[in-house]
């Protein structure tokens, strides 16, 4: 009968051919060797059963740890360096070295050119630029300088550029005052956009129209454009008051007040110009001319004209 062997995984293996006994050692020696081999196979099988394979989650966890721990260490060192000021000192030293190198190449500020400046002082321009002679021109920030320039009272817009090797070029567009705005007892210059320019040095602008009212700056440009359509008459207007944010009352040099309508102000203004040209109406003894109602002219007489009218009424 052929003999059977047991494999380490407890499965029955293929039949094994019977071994021939050797002359030396006899049958007893062969039996001892067969038994020894059987015991060795059993020990190997038990050892392999004891060695459990590693769980599936162990490998990715080890890989993640191998990546995260070095990164965390680098981040920690960088944070410590930043908090301790090491990074800032290193950057400062690097910037100083760059500035020295730039200065050695002649790339330093030697000149500032400004175009379009009329009312803005040179000192204000230089202060807004924030640059000194001999400073690195590459370290100069044109965009930040432009923002500071446009924050100045008289500057409407600005452009700033570097012209290597040593020049900073500035071009300004300044605000143009069109009127003096009076509100709550205070007076300021305003431009066409209704922007307040300044409250100082107003003596040089007494020739400008004075507009009165909290919302007057918003409508001032439109009013002035209308008045300029009759330039001879416009020269005699000294003040304009915006009433309830809707219509204007005009004050003339002779003291007469003209009340314009909310709608159709342009037509009323042309009518007033015609009356002045034909009848010299503004030269008469009048306190007010009311043009608020279309096709109707209402006059408020002055004291002398009113007295004369009463006298004529009594005599009739």
Among residues 276, 265, 270, which one has the least CA distance to residue 222? Answer: 265
pLDDT value of residue 255: 94
pLDDT at 50: 53
Q: For 187-216, how does the pLDDT look when each residue is reduced to its tens digit (9 = 90+)? A: 999 999 999 999 999 999 999 999 999 999
Distance CA 235, CA 3 (A): 135
Give the neighbor-by-neighbor strand order of the sheet with 155-163. Answer: 111-115, 167-174, 155-163
* pLDDT value, residue 196: 97
The sign of the torsion formed by the CA atoms of 98, 102, 107, 111 equals positive
pLDDT at 63 over 70: no
- Per-residue confidence band for 34, with pLDDT thresholds at 50, 70 and 90: very low
Nearest 5°: the CA angle 169, 171, 175 is 155
Supply the pLDDT for residue 295: 85
Residue 312 confidence class, pLDDT cut points 50, 70, 90: confident
Band (1; pLDDT cuts 50, 70, 90) = very low
Q: Does residue 156 have a pLDDT over 70?
A: yes
pTM of the model: 0.64
- Could you give the CA distance from residue 242 to residue 248 in angstroms, rounded to a whole number? 5
Residue-range domains of the chain with CATH = 58-103 (no CATH), 106-174 (3.10.20.310), 179-315 (3.40.50.11690)
Mean pLDDT value of segment 145-155:
97
Q: Could you count the other beta carbons within 10 Å of the beta carbon of residue 101?
A: 12
pLDDT band for position 110 (cuts 50, 70, 90):
very high
Q: Above pLDDT 90, what percent of the chain? A: 60
pLDDT of residue 313: 64
What string of DSSP letters covers the chain?
--B--B-TTS-B---BPPPPPPSSSHHHHHHHHHHHHHHHHHHHHHHHHHSPPPPTTHHHHHHHHHHHHHHHHHHHHHHHHHHTTHHHHHHHHHHHHHHHHHHHTT-B--EEEEES-SSS-HHHHHHHHT--TTSBSSS--HHHHHHHHHTSTTEEEEEEEEETTTEEEEEEEE----EEEEETTEEEEE-TT--EEESS-GGGGTTSEEEESTTHHHHHHHHHHHHTTSHHHHTTEEEEEEETTTEEEEEETTS-EEE--SS-HHHHHHHHHHHHHHH-GGGSSEEEEE--STT--EEEE-HHHHHHHHHHHHH-
> What's the chain's average pLDDT?
80
Q: Phi/psi zone of residue 124: left (φ > 0), alpha (ψ -120 to 50 degrees), beta? A: alpha
């Amino acid at each position: 009968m052929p003999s059977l062997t047991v494999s380490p995984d407890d499965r029955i293996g293929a039949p094994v051919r019977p071994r021939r006994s050797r002359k030396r050692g006899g049958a007893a020696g062969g039996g001892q060797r067969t038994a020894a081999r059987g015991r060795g196979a059993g020990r190997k099988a038990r050892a392999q059963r004891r060695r459990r394979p590693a769980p599936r989650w162990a490998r990715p966890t080890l890989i993640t740890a191998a990546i995260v721990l070095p990164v965390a260490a680098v981040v920690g060192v960088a944070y410590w360096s930043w908090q301790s000021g090491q990074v800032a000192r290193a950057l400062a030293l690097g910037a100083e070295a760059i500035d020295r190198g730039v200065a050695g190449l002649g790339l330093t500020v030697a000149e500032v050119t400004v175009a379009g400046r009329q009312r803005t002082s040179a000192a204000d321009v230089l202060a807004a630029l924030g640059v000194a002679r001999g400073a690195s021109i590459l370290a100069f920030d044109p965009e930040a300088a432009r923002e500071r320039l446009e924050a100045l009272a008289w500057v409407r817009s600005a452009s700033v550029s570097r012209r290597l090797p040593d020049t900073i070029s500035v071009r300004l567009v300044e605000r143009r005052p069109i009127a003096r705005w009076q509100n709550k007892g205070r007076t300021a210059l305003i431009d066409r956009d209704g922007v307040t320019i300044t409250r100082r040095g107003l003596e040089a602008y007494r020739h400008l129209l004075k507009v009165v009212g909290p919302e007057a700056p918003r409508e001032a440009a439109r009013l002035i454009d209308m008045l300029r359509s009759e330039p001879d008459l416009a020269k005699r207007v000294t003040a304009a008051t915006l009433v309830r944010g809707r219509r204007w009352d005009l004050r003339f040099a002779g003291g007469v007040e003209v009340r314009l309508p909310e709608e159709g102000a342009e037509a009323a203004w042309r009518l007033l110009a015609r009356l002045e040209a034909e009848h010299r109406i503004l030269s008469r003894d009048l306190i007010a001319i009311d043009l608020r109602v279309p096709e109707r002219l209402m006059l408020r007489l002055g004291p002398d004209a009113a007295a004369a009218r009463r006298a004529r009424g009594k005599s009739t």
